[in-house]
Structure 1
Amino acid sequence: MVDAEGYADTWSVLRDFLNEIESGGPIILAGRDTFFDLTKFSERLHDLSAKVDIKHASLSPISPATAKTWLTQIGWSAEELNSSEANELLKPDSYVLRPYFLSTIAPLGGVNSVLGDLVSPRDFLVKSFLQREAKLITQRVNMDEPTAAKLLWELFELVALEMAEAETESVDLPFLQLAVDLTFERALKDPSDLAKLRHKAGSFALMDVDTRQGFRRFPHTEISNHFLASALFKEVLSGKVPRFLRRGYFGTDLLLIAGEQMLDLPTEIFNDLRSKLITLMRNDAGAERLSDNVTSLLVTSAIVDSSDELLIERANAGDVVLFGTTGSARMVEVGINRLDCRGANLSAITFDQCSASVLVVDEQTLIGATRPAVGSLMVETAGKTAVLYNPEEINDWVSAHQTHRDESQAENEATRLLEKVARVFLRQFFIKSDPFDPAGRYLSEDLWPAIEEKLAHEGRLRRTDRKDASGKRGEFIHIINPGALLERASEEDRRIWGSVAELAQ
Structure 2
Amino acid sequence: MTADLVGLIADLAPFSDLGSEAPSAVTAGSKTLVRLVREGENVDLTFDTGGVTEKKNGQKKNFKSLKSLLASPGFSNLGQWADSQKLFLQDRVKSEDLPALGQGSSFGEGGIIELDEFMRQGFRGKRRNVVVLIDGPAGIGKTSIIRALAYRRAEKYRVQQYPLILHVESRGRVLQNITDLMAFSLQTLRASVTYDQIPALVRHGLITLAIDGFDELGDPNGYDLAWAQLNDLIVSARGEGSFLLSGRETFISSDRITRALPSIDESKDTLESYSIFPIQPSVAKTWLSKHGWNEQALVSDPAKPIFEVGSYALRPFFLSQLASAEVSQEVMTGEFDDILSFLVESMALREQSKFGKDVDAVTSQETRLTFINTLMEEVARDLAENQTDSISGDTLVWLSDVASESITHEVRGILRNRVQVIAFLTDDLRRGYKRFIHEQVQNYFLCKVTIKALSTGDIPKYVRRNIFGLDFLENFCEVARHLSQDMIEKFVSSCLITLDSLSDQDRARRNISALVMACCSISDVKSVPELNDCSVDEALFSGTVSRIHLSRCTITQLDARGSDMSEVSFSDSHIITLLADQGTIPSRTIPSPSLLVLPESTVSDPSAIETWLGAQYMSVKSPFGDLSLRDALEAYPLVKLLARYARYRPFWLKDGEEKAARKILDDEHWEELKSILNRHELLVERFNRPSSGPAATFYHLKNRDALRELDYSLPWMRRVISDIITALPLVED
TM (norm. structure 2) is 0.64
Q: Among residues 369, 389, 399, which one is paired with 1:169 in the alignment?
A: 389
The equivalent position to 1:394 in structure 2, one of 579, 587, 609, is 609
Of the three residues 352, 358, 372, the one matched with 1:152 is: 372
- 1:182 is aligned, of 379, 390, 402, to 402
Separation (CA, whole Å) in 2 of partners of 1:261 and 1:84: 24
Show the counterpart of 1:193.
411
Deviations 1:393-448 (A, max 9, x none): 22222211135731428532222122212211xx2111221245542342133321
Please name the residue that 2:224 is paired with: 8
Cα distance in structure 2, aligned partners of 1:26 and 1:140: 57
**Of 558, 570, 573, the match for 1:351:** 570
1:359 shift after superposition = 0.8
- 1:494–1:170: structure 2 CA closer, same or farther, 3 Å change rule? farther
Number of the residue aligned with 1:371: 590
Structure 1 window deviating more from structure 2 (393-402 vs 170-179): it is 393-402
Q: Distance in 2 between matches of 1:273 and 1:284?
A: 17
Residue deviations 1:97-151, cap 9 Å, x none? Answer: 1112211222147978525321222211111111111222364502121221122
C-alpha distance after superposition, 1:158-182 (max 9, x if no partner): 1111111111112111111111111
User: Aligned partners of 1:437, 1:355: CA distance in 2, in Å?
Assistant: 31
> 1:46 matched to which residue of 2?
262
Q: In the alignment, which residue of structure 2 is the partner of 1:495? A: 719
**In structure 2, distance between residues paired with 1:52 and 1:91:** 39
| 1:242 paired to 2:460 | yes
1:289 to 507, 528, 551: 507
Name the SS for the 2:698 alignment partner: strand
Equivalent position amino acid for 1:101 in 2 = F
Supply the distance in 2 between the matched residues of 1:86 and 1:435 (Cα, whole angstroms): 22
8 Å contact 1:488–1:494 — kept in the other structure?
no
- Aligned partner letter, 2:680: E
In 1, the alpha carbon distance for the partners of 2:454 and 2:288 equals 43
CA contact (8 A) 2:292 2:324 kept: no
Rate the CA distance shift 1:376–1:255 in 2: closer, same or farther, 3 A: same
Distance 2:347 2:394 in 1: 22
- Checking the alignment, whether the CA contact within 8 Å between 2:504 and 2:534 is kept in structure 1 is no
Q: Matches of 2:358 and 2:319 in 1, distance apart?
A: 30
Q: Which runs of 5+ in 2 are unaligned?
A: 1-213
**Aligned partner of 1:301 among 510, 519, 532:** 519
Measure how far apart 1:84 and its partner are: 8.0
2:363 alignment partner in structure 1:
143
Aligned equivalents of 1:466 and 1:213: distance in 2? 50
Instruction: Say yes or no: does 1:464 pair with 2:686.
Output: yes
TM-superposed CA distance for 1:318, in Å, is 1.2
Deviation string 1:306-339 (CA, Å, 9 cap, x unpaired) is 2322222221111111111111122122110110
Report the residue type matching 2:228 in the other structure: S
1:231 alignment partner in structure 2 = 449
SS of residue matched to 1:377: strand
In structure 1, what residue type is equivalent to 2:652? F
Rounded to whole Å, the distance in 1 between the matches of 2:239 and 2:666 is: 68
| Structure 1 Cα separation of the partners of residues 350 and 377 of structure 2 | 18
8 Å CA contact 1:77–1:110 kept in 2: the answer is no
CA 1:108–1:454 in 2, change beyond 3 Å: closer, same or farther?
A: farther
Alpha-carbon offset, residue 269 of structure 1: 2.7
Alpha-carbon distance in 2 for matches of 1:338, 1:287 = 19
2:456 and 2:494 in contact (8 A); partners too: no
Residues 9-52 of structure 1 show CA distances to partners (whole Å, capped at 9, x for unaligned) of 22332232233335433222222222112133123332552553
Secondary structure of 1:373's match? Answer: coil
For 1:31 and 1:353, locate their aligned partners in 2 and report how far apart those are by CA, in whole Å. 32
Contact persistence 1:124–1:469 (CA under 8 A) = no
Deviation sequence 1:64-111 (CA, Å, 0-9, x none):
232233223435456875688766641322222111221122214797
Letter in 2 for 1:7: Y
Provide the residue aligned with 1:27 in structure 2: 243
Residue matched to 1:262: 480
Check 1:209–1:498 CA distance in 2 against 1; reply closer, same or farther (3 A cut).
Answer: farther
| Larger RCO (alpha carbons 8 Å, 6+ apart) | 1
Distance 1:322 1:268, change over 3 A: same
Aligned to 1:312, what secondary structure does the other structure show? strand
Q: What CA RMSD, in Å, does the superposition of the two structures yield over aligned residues?
A: 2.6
Which has the larger Rg?
Answer: 2
Q: What letter matches 1:65 in structure 2? A: S
Identify the residue that residue 546 of structure 2 maps to in structure 1: 327
Alignment-derived partner of residue 151 in structure 2: none
The more displaced of 163-172 and 286-295 is: 286-295
| C-alpha distance in 2 between matches for 1:305 and 1:101 | 30
Alpha-carbon distance in structure 2 between the residues aligned to 1:181 and 1:228: 19
SS at match of 2:700: strand
1:88-99 mapped onto 2 (5 Å cutoff): 89-99=306-316
Q: What amino acid is the match of 2:540?
A: V
Q: More displaced, 238-247 or 46-55?
A: 46-55
Which residue in 2 is equivalent to 1:218?
A: 436
Whether the aligned pair in 2 keeps the contact of 1:120 and 1:430 (CA below 8 Å) is no
- Inter-CA distance 110–386: structure 2 relative to 1 (3 Å threshold): farther
- Offset of residue 340 of structure 1: 0.6
Alpha-carbon distance in structure 1 between the residues aligned to 2:453 and 2:559: 26
Q: Secondary structure at the match of 2:553?
A: strand
What is the TM-score when the length of structure 1 is the normalising length? 0.90
Secondary structure at the aligned position of 1:235 is classed as helix
* C-alpha distance in structure 1 between counterparts of 2:379 and 2:705, whole Å: 37
Unaligned runs of 5+ in 1: none
* Cα distance change of structure 1 residues 290 and 470 upon mapping to structure 2, 3 Å threshold: same
Q: Which amino acid aligns with 1:483?
A: D
Aligned counterparts of 1:111 and 1:497: Cα–Cα separation in 2: 39
2:645 corresponds to which residue? 421
Matches within 5 A, 1:67-78: 67-74=284-291, 76-77=293-294
The answer on whether the counterparts of 1:312 and 1:330 sit within 8 Å (CA) in structure 2 is yes
For residue 198 of structure 1, report the CA deviation from its aligned partner.
0.4
**Using the alignment, how far apart are the partners of 1:302 and 1:464 within structure 2?**
29
Equivalent residues of 2:297, 2:332 under 8 A apart? no
Percent of aligned pairs with the same residue? 25
Deviation at 1:235, TM superposition (A): 0.9
Are 2:677 and 1:455 equivalent residues in the alignment?
yes
Q: How far is 1:477 from its partner?
A: 1.5
Q: Aligned in 2, Cα 1:356/1:139: closer, same or farther, shift over 3 Å?
A: farther
Whole-angstrom CA distance in 2 between matches of 1:310 and 1:78: 49
**Bigger mean CA deviation after superposition, 465-474 or 352-361:** 465-474
2:323 alignment partner, SS class: helix
Letter in 2 for 1:320: A
CA distance in 1, matches of 2:667, 2:261: 56
Cα pair 1:366 1:403 within 8 Å, conserved: no
The answer to whether the Cα contact below 8 Å between 2:592 and 2:610 also exists between their aligned partners in 1 is no
| 1:482 corresponding residue in structure 2 | 704
Q: 1:229, 1:254 within 8 Å by CA — same for their partners in 2?
A: yes
* Structure 1 residue 61 corresponds to structure 2 residue 283: no
Secondary structure at 1:318's aligned position in 2? Answer: strand
